[in-house]
Chains A and B, each alone.
Chain A
């Protein structure tokens, strides 16, 4: 009787497991993704970065019977690989292994997830690197990535979404190995796990995996979702000044209550693609700022988080969120110091191109809100997207990732369903969504720039000074009249600026 009861209970637990399967019998590999619904929103106050450190230690440490070096030695000839990624609301462990070695590799996977060694030595190494990331890397290696992370810090100030995934300088310092062990027990459990598997595996293998993962902790963690950030009042700007920056890197945005879960998402996807499709030359922002005026390397807009936009050309899976915001990205534009050095005719300018670029981007959004899209642009953009979204899922890994994200949003197959929604969409739907979700009166803007640029730029923004575009003579000479007329309008376009602050790089992410 007792045995029977246990059996029933066990069966009940199995049914509760969330599993996404993608059988591909012709492939030569197996991919296993374990998605825990925790993410940096689960970091305790004062221990920001703990979820990231816990995930990193699980994949960069040893198991109960193997050191990290033992594991590396063992999997080396197989070319098996694995790693972790953490976002605001999920942590994902990804394993990829040739089908030939799946059974040899499986005990290692099991050991890493169920029986991590949590050695002090591994902890010290992994923590030191994370500390270095929050202290130095984010501030020094890419001004674009810096301004993007700083924007999230600004937009979500005072909420669980504010801090970087990797935490803050002070908080990472305070994380102990015991914190990690407790966090593992409380937030990496069988109750917040989604299992994903793709490739050439047997049903027996999956059954074993599911059964074994029942041995994770049974704690039922509570993950904060749908963080409600305040809509900023007016346009608020934070200028982050640093030594020897070569340009001004800009990110801007405002909270938006819309995710892939919602019906309006398809409509806004069309509008956004038209305004600023990622790394494409079709967007309005790109055409106005880069193509016509060659102010920088590119200009794009987003209706959800886009991870590592500098590297990824197609949107990667693995960062599903219940809280969202609209943003636009202006890649580094020229600062006065550089322009003065480069062109004699610009030796008297006080400020570089940032103010102009921000005005141009906001004015384009404003025009779209006021006028909507045309039928022609709508059709062209919809046609593009119906083909383009299929490219998100070209590989077994990306297909699995997108299916898991779909499940997070309560959907079966986001890409497929999106195509159907796009097919039914009308221009009126799109223009209605633009008016409902977009505006230009209230937003946060972060600018990473050189010390020499910060003061004059702050003054220009704060006082809504005219910001004429400063071309070199050689470019100016050939500009068509309509560009010059538009330049005039942009230079004097009024922004609803409420506040402009200058912050030293060392004082960000506090």
Chain B
């Protein structure tokens, strides 16, 4: 109800960003304790005042990015489902019983660069969490029939998602914008591969052997715990986990030479324009990622000049949004608008580009830059008010760099962003050769040039 119009917006993976109000300490306000085990598993503990509650996360740096082989798109996500199908010690029914007894909120999700397994619940059950998770991460064992059956649930998930025209467009945009890199397919995968999943049992064993290894994983515990206890339990339960030796060769995306187009004919929703520029991969230590985040906030948030012109004054646009996908490899910077009248689709595209060109020529107001830094700082500070939101924030940065301390590097760089950084980023990335235009309208063609 609150987000009446959020349907119109694709999901972005922004970094959680901000600064500590205390300049003398690190930007992230809680100490991050790290313990690297001999087998390569990194154990991260953040103590937080949440009496009786702890979040237990396992972040595996495998996602649809790693799906380099033909015919297995969507496999990282499918495999996440299989992780709930039992071990020698606990078959799936026993696993469910044990999980229920913990009384936690537990689940998993997969995206482009990572798979996260998370539990938030009673801190007194911490050892049981370790036992259950270490068992399935090392001893996963599912019957072949279960494997074939689970593929149906993945198809059900696809069926649910694809009901949205925005999901359909998003699938088309990735497929159009990328030629070689695995970001060409969404995390769900191509439907033909989803239908074929039941035939891939042997590949699933290989997949587990390759990626469910300590060097791909970070164990993260936040809440009413101590690092000493977490580290001790980690050694006890994950100490025998064996290091692997596989590394996927992710294809490098060739340079895009000209604007690309994809259109979805659909009269059931308002006209929609999505402008997608190839951006950089995430880099916590460089200036481009923070500059682009700040730039998108300035240009497309509700107080931006563009928003106020198109949405509030002219009322030609219902909503507009812009941001960069935070991913390990170069991905898209997306700006999307839901439009009142289809005759204005070209106009909206032109207005967005005019705004970007103005930054290239004139930069932005220093005051606006300072206010944006302030906004990010306070927004971040208000958001990390419970173990699971802290764990999610750190998981996000871990998936990108493997190091939770990157959150501090990122914050420090936000503070350093200058108007020249914004100009440079705009000049480098907002160019017609890097652009893919996605449109939805009742017409057979998109018509946006």
Q: Which A residues are closer than 8 A to B by beta carbons?
A: 26-29, 52, 56, 68-69, 72-73, 76-79, 83-87, 96, 98, 100-101, 121, 124-125, 128-130, 132-133, 136-137, 139-144, 165-166, 245-247, 249, 279-282, 287, 290-298, 307-308, 310, 313-314, 331-334, 338, 342, 380-381, 383-388, 390-391, 394-396, 472, 474-475, 478-479
**CB <8 Å contact, B145 and A478:** yes
Q: Which residues of A contact B377 (CB under 8 A)?
A: 79
Q: With A342-B195, A395-B385 given, is the CB distance from A383 to B103 under 8 Å?
A: yes
Interface locus among B49-57, B244-252, B398-406: B49-57
**CB <8 Å contact, B375 and A76:** yes
Q: Which residues of A contact B50 (CB under 8 A)?
A: 394
Q: Mark B129-157, 1 if CB is under 8 A from A, else 0.
A: 00000000000000111001111110111
Query: Which of chain B's residues 272-325 have a Cβ closer than 8 Å to chain A?
Result: 301-303, 308, 311-312, 315, 318
Q: Does B68 contact A (CB under 8 A)?
A: no
Q: Which residues of B contact A166 (CB under 8 A)?
A: 4
Q: In whole angstroms, what is the CA distance A343 to B242 when docked? A: 40
**CB <8 Å contact, A313 and B105:** yes
Q: Does B186 contact A (CB under 8 A)?
A: no
Q: With A246-B162, A387-B102, A395-B386 given, is the CB distance from A87 to B303 under 8 Å?
A: no
**CB <8 Å contact, B379 and A141:** no
**CB <8 Å contact, B163 and A249:** yes
Q: With A68-B312, A396-B385 given, is the CB distance from A380 to B97 under 8 Å?
A: yes
Greatest chain A CB density within 10 A among B1, B96, B121 is at B1
Query: Which of chain B's residues 376-407 have a Cβ closer than 8 Å to chain A?
Result: 376-379, 381-382, 385-389
Q: With A246-B163, A281-B96, A475-B148 given, is the CB distance from A86 to B1 under 8 Å?
A: yes
**CB <8 Å contact, A136 and B270:** yes
**CB <8 Å contact, A313 and B107:** yes
Q: Which residues of A contact B5 (CB under 8 A)?
A: 129, 132-133, 137
**CB <8 Å contact, A136 and B269:** yes
Q: Does B10 contact A (CB under 8 A)?
A: no
Greatest chain A CB density within 10 A among B7, B143, B163 is at B163
Q: With A76-B303, A140-B165 given, is the CB distance from A85 to B121 under 8 Å?
A: no
**CB <8 Å contact, B4 and A129:** yes
Min distance, Cβ A289 to any Cβ of chain B, angstroms: 9
**CB <8 Å contact, B105 and A388:** yes
**CB <8 Å contact, A141 and B270:** no
Q: Does B100 contact A (CB under 8 A)?
A: yes
> In the complex, which of the residues A29, A246, A391, A396 contacts B120, with contact meaning CB atoms closer than 8 Å?
A391
Q: With A391-B105, A394-B50 given, is the CB distance from A137 to B269 under 8 Å?
A: yes
**CB <8 Å contact, B103 and A384:** yes
Query: Which of chain B's residues 107-141 have a Cβ closer than 8 Å to chain A?
Result: 107, 120-122, 125
**CB <8 Å contact, A69 and B308:** yes
**CB <8 Å contact, B382 and A79:** yes
Q: With A133-B4, A296-B160 given, is the CB distance from A388 to B318 under 8 Å?
A: no
Q: In whole angstroms, what is the CA distance A36 to B149 when docked? A: 48
Q: With A128-B318, A141-B164, A388-B105 given, is the CB distance from A294 to B121 under 8 Å?
A: no
Q: Does B199 contact A (CB under 8 A)?
A: yes
Q: In whole angstroms, what is the CA distance A77 to B374 when docked? A: 5
Q: With A76-B375, A85-B2 given, is the CB distance from A474 to B199 under 8 Å?
A: yes
**CB <8 Å contact, A282 and B152:** no
Q: 13 A-B pairs, CB-CB below 8 angstroms?
A: A52-B1, A79-B379, A141-B7, A141-B165, A246-B162, A294-B150, A334-B156, A385-B103, A391-B105, A394-B50, A394-B386, A478-B143, A479-B145
Q: With A56-B4, A96-B382, A128-B315 given, is the CB distance from A142 to B163 under 8 Å?
A: yes
Contacts A125-B312, A395-B386 known; 5 new A-B pairs at CB < 8 A: A29-B385, A132-B270, A136-B270, A246-B159, A394-B386
Q: Does B88 contact A (CB under 8 A)?
A: no
Q: In whole angstroms, what is the CA distance A242 to B269 when docked? A: 14
**CB <8 Å contact, B301 and A76:** yes
Q: Does B433 contact A (CB under 8 A)?
A: no
Q: In whole angstroms, what is the CA distance A52 to B2 when docked? A: 10
Q: In whole angstroms, what is the CA distance A314 to B387 when docked? A: 15
